[in-house]
Amino acid sequence: DYPSRLQPLTGAAPILYYFGEADLNNPRSISVVGTREMSSNGARQVDRLLDPLTDFSPLIVSGLAYGVDIYAHRRCLQVGLPTLPVTGSGFDRIYPHAHQKTARKMAENGGGVLTASPFWMKPDKDHFPARNRIVAMQSDLTVVVESAARGGSMITARMAHELGRKVGACPGRGGDPLTEGCNQLIKSGR
C-alpha cells in the first residue's frame, strides 16, 4: 500500500505510517501550504482554491501546521474533500498538539494521517524538512497560498519543483511580507 507517487523517487522514506480512509493513490493530489501567520486574504484564497474542487475529489495534502495548513485541512472537512496531513512526529505525539482532534476527524471522514516517524517519535525541528518532502512527493501540484521569502512552504515548493512537480502560488500585493515568497515564485517562473 506504499503510495505510488513516492515509489519511483530517490530519497523517499522506506517506511511510512498511515491511518485513515483516504486513497493515497488518488488520481488527483494537491498540496496546499503556506505561512503560519495566515491573513484573512489567505483564508479567502484557500476557500477560492478548494471549494470548486469538490466535484473532482482530489486528495488535499498539507503539513498540519498552524495557519494555512490547518485552515486548508479544516476547509476540506467543511466541503467534503479528502485531506491528508503529513506530520513530522509519530501518531502518539501529533504536532501541534492543538490539532490532534482535527487530525483524528480527518482520518474518520475520508482522509488520513501520514508520517515517516514511528508511533512514539516526538516532534523535532529536524523532522520537518522530511515532512515537507513527503508533502511535495505526495502531490501532483503544490500551491503556496501565502509565504514569506523564507520558510517551510518555500522549502516544500522548492522540493516540488526539483521533483518535476507543478508549483502554483497565489499572487499578493507588492511589499507585503506575507506574499513575498509567492511573488518570488511567480517572478522566477518556478
Q: Model confidence over 91-148: pLDDT tens digits?
A: 989 999 999 999 999 999 999 999 999 988 888 888 888 999 999 999 999 999 999 9
Element at 114 (helix H, strand E): strand 112-115
Cell numbers representing residue 189 in the block: 517562473
CB of 71 closer than 8 Å to CB of 63: no
pLDDT in tens, 137-184: 999 999 999 999 999 999 999 999 999 999 999 999 888 999 999 999
Among the ranges given (56-60, 84-88, 117-121), the one the predictor scored with the smallest mean pLDDT:
117-121
State mean pLDDT over 20-24. 94
Beta bridge partners of 83: 60
Tell me the pLDDT band of 88, cut-offs 50, 70 and 90. Answer: very high
Angle at the Cα of 62 from the Cα atoms of 60 and 64, rounded to 5 degrees: 130
